[in-house]
């Protein structure tokens, strides 16, 4: 008996677009997989719009996103959730992590961090250098802050901790804290909650049981597991989809209009035709 027959949905998935540009075939592939997995489980799919970065998220991209989702025939349960309206929930978690001494204010700039000599990194990852542990402030530095504004906030990882999780497509995946990634941002100096924090707060609040997303976020999953632990939350199951590449093997970017969903829509192609042509 599945969830549909009992009326109780056990599976809860989500699609979580960030409207900072045109959506492309890589997004379509992930959204489609999220839809298929929710359908196969007889579960729910919700839509969360990750619009925290007010400077980069534009209304025209939100509009185009709804058109893309309609073109794909994607439906979701309930009203879309806008992260921009959930500040208080993120602030509560910032407060909780701060009180537990798990995050600290970091006065170093991104530029200082980027200037560190780096070993070559995998192309898949947005390369953020490992934050040097010796740059951490003395313990307790967080105590004098009653709001997050003005500095970047980082989550302190335990060097050498191995984080292992099971992925529906890739099997067991492991990363080592302090080696594969370092202390990571949870709130930035422009007063915007970081992706890692917001996504965990929302997936927990939404009762999400499985996260389907691109495999460029595999390392983020390890970071997010640390946040679930810090918040005594049960992590969802994970399914990371392969990235879609262009004819030259380069992963698609939001600024590349040639493979934007809008372009296909405007050419009168259906989503099915695109899907068959590009990812079978």
Query: Which residues would be at the binding site for ligand GLU (CB under 6 A)?
Result: 16-18, 50, 199, 211, 213, 217
Q: Work out how close the CB of 145 gets to ligand GLU at its nearest, in angstroms, rounded to a whole number.
A: 27
Pairing mode, if any, of strands 184-187 and 152-155?
antiparallel
Give 9 or 221: the residue with its C-beta nearer to ligand GLU.
Answer: 221
Identify which of residues 148 and 236 has a Cβ nearer to ligand GLU in the complex. 236
First to last CA, the chain: 30
- Return the residue nearest ligand GLU (CB atom): 213
**Strand, helix or coil for residue 101:** coil
Give the residue carrying structure tokens 């590349």.
256
CB of 254 to ligand GLU, least distance (A): 9
Least distance in Å: CB of 14 to ligand GLU? Answer: 7
Query: Does residue 8 come out as left (phi exceeding 0), alpha (psi in the -120 to 50 range) or beta?
Result: beta
DSSP string, 217-280: GHHHHHHHHHHHHHTT----EEEEEPPPB-TTSPBP-TT-GGGBHHHHHHTT--HHHHHHHHH-
Nearer to ligand GLU among residue 18 and residue 209 (C-beta):
18
- Residue among 50 and 68 whose Cβ is closer to ligand GLU: 50
Minimum distance between the CB of residue 228 and ligand GLU, rounded to whole angstroms?
A: 13
Give the strand pairing for 12-15 and 44-49.
parallel
Query: Considering the complex, what minimum distance in angstroms separates the CB of residue 213 from ligand GLU?
Result: 3
Both tokens assigned to 41: 């489980």
Give 211 or 218: the residue with its C-beta nearer to ligand GLU: 211
Q: Which is nearer to ligand GLU, 106 or 204 (CB)?
A: 204
Task: Report the DSSP beta bridge partners of residue 164.
Answer: 174
Nearest distance from C-beta of residue 131 to ligand GLU, angstroms: 22
42 sits in the region (left: phi over 0; alpha: psi -120 to 50; else beta) called left
**CA-derived radius of gyration, the chain:** 19
């Amino acid at each position: 008996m599945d969830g549909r027959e009992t009326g109780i949905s056990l599976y809860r998935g989500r699609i979580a677009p960030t409207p900072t540009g045109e959506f492309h075939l890589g997004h379509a592939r992930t959204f489609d997989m999220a839809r298929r997995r929710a359908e196969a489980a007889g579960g729910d799919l919700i839509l969360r719009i990750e619009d925290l970065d007010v400077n980069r998220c534009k209304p025209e991209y939100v509009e185009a996103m709804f058109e893309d989702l309609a073109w794909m025939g994607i439906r979701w349960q309930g009203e879309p959730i806008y992260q921009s309206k959930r500040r208080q929930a993120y602030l509560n978690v910032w407060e909780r992590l701060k009180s537990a001494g798990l995050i600290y204010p970091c006065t170093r700039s991104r530029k200082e961090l980027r200037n560190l000599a780096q070993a070559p990194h995998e192309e898949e990852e947005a390369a953020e250098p490992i934050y040097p542990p010796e740059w951490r402030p003395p313990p307790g530095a967080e105590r004098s802050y009653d709001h997050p504004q003005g500095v970047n906030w980082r989550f302190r990882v335990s060097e050498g901790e191995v984080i292992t999780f099971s992925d529906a497509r890739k099997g067991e995946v492991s990363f080592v804290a302090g080696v594969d990634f370092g202390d990571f941002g949870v709130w930035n100096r422009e007063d915007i909650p970081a992706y890692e924090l917001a996504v965990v707060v929302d997936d927990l609040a939404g009762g999400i049981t499985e996260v389907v997303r691109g495999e460029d976020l595999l390392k983020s999953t390890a970071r997010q597991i640390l946040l679930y632990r810090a918040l005594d939350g049960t992590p969802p199951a994970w399914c990371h989809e392969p990235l879609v590449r262009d004819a030259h093997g380069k992963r698609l970017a939001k600024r590349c209009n040639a493979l934007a969903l809008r372009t296909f829509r405007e050419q009168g192609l259906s989503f099915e035709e695109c899907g068959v042509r590009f990812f079978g």
